[in-house]
Amino acid sequence: MANIPGKKGVIGILTGGGDVPGLNPAIRAVTLRAIKEGYGVIGIRRGWAGLVDIVRDQQASNADHFQVLTEEIVNRIGRTGGTFLHTSRTRPSSVPDVNVPAHLRDKYKQKANDLTEEVLKNMEFLGIDYLVPIGGDDTLSYAFHLHTKGVKVIGIPKTMDNDVPGTDYCIGFSTCLTRTISLTHSLRTTAGSHERFLVIEVFGRYSGFTALLPTMAGAANRCVIPEHTFNMEHLCQLLTEDRSTNPSLYAVAIVSEGAMFEGGEMVFASEEKDMFGHKKLGGIGDVISSRLKDISPKFNNGRRINVISQRLGYMVRCGDPDAMDSIVPLAYGSIALDLIIDKKFGRMVCLHNGEYDNVPIDIITSRKKVVDVDKYYDRDRLRPLYKSFSHTPAFIITSD
């Protein structure tokens, strides 16, 4: 036992998957409210990896795997970006042999190993009564798996792609949009100076929210998203027209990393897969840029148009949270405690149509959250489609 003080029990918090601004404010919100209500709080390090790596021996040092959280600790870090608990893309139900902790290798010798039994025993060893995982659909899908094993789980949705089903908003999304718009506008000066196309690649494996909304906000002329396979010549023609009507002779396209053109496939940075079976995406922006340069003479009186290709990558997920990603985590953390106090487990906090709420956590495994192309995307013009903003959610196209 970790002997964590808490009259009403001990809450474990972890962050999994990619980092985003807003994670530390969420950890702070859960911790402060929990301590006020009489609970002890443990921060699990490196997401699910921390609960895999625990050594169940009172003499062993597990300081690398968890830490007791206090008001002083979370107040000091709660305004910053990233996650001070660290994170990983660990899936305890499918741990590769090379990632099995040394003290468990005699027991688990398969290429992929289900260590859920160890996770459950480690939670008991630490004295964790309730678990609050903060993450995207991968992290929360394993949280649902633990819920089916009897663990008292409350999930908090996080992903800058905003692709967790059941909620209009995921922690990290607003900062991602803010940075994408700002960085794209900054790059305009170079695109204009050289009279080029500017192609911006953003995150978004299956959903195009991070490309569509900045374009709606005026950051780009066109956008291509994973939900619609586009024609390269058509994109080039549209951008050439945009460029010709711009006094500075440039045009901008935002490209989701999971976008595909007709006859093409997803572009991967490597063939290596993480524990959730995902290969790392990256490079579609460069491919599109090269094709645009080759095709452009056809639509520009025989003259080639050069292209600036920029992958925003981690620039949109680093640094401090914006206002939205400082406020929403506060609310989400408080709601998580409400649910624990009310003994309503197997839930995920959410924001729906402007109101905070909660939904069953099994919604994570029910479907993918993607852009409704018929409703929000103009296939012919390769840009957002909208008619009226009346009675729409704050982020317009993000409601299920």
Using 50, 70 and 90 to split pLDDT, how confident is the model at 301?
A: very high
| Residue corresponding to tokens 């103009």 | 378
- C-alpha to C-alpha distance for 189 and 289, rounded to whole angstroms: 18
Residues 202, 206: Cα–Cα separation, whole Å = 12
- Structural domains in the chain, CATH included, are 10-171+321-365 (3.40.50.450), 174-312+373-384 (3.40.50.460)
pLDDT(316) > 90: yes
State the pairing for strand pair 40-44/10-15: parallel
Helix boundaries (H) for 225-274:
232-244
Backbone angles phi, psi at 173, to 5 degrees: -70, -45
| Total Cβ atoms within 10 A of residue 22 | 32
Distance from C-alpha of 204 to C-alpha of 318, rounded to nearest angstrom = 16
Element (H, E) at 378: strand 377-378
Instruction: Check: CB of residue 208 under 8 Å from CB of residue 222.
Output: no
**pLDDT higher than 60, residue 1:** no
pLDDT of 14 higher than 70: yes
Confidence band of 143 (pLDDT split at 50, 70, 90): very high
Query: pLDDT for 261-277, tens place per residue?
Result: 998 777 766 666 666 66
pLDDT-derived band at 356, boundaries 50, 70, 90: very high
Interval 21-39: pLDDT, tens? 999 999 999 999 999 999 9
The predicted model scores a pTM of 0.94
Active-site amino acid positions: 161
154, containing H or E segment: strand 154-157
The per-residue DSSP string of 22-67 comes to: THHHHHHHHHHHHHHHT-EEEEETTTHHHHHH----TTS--TTTEE
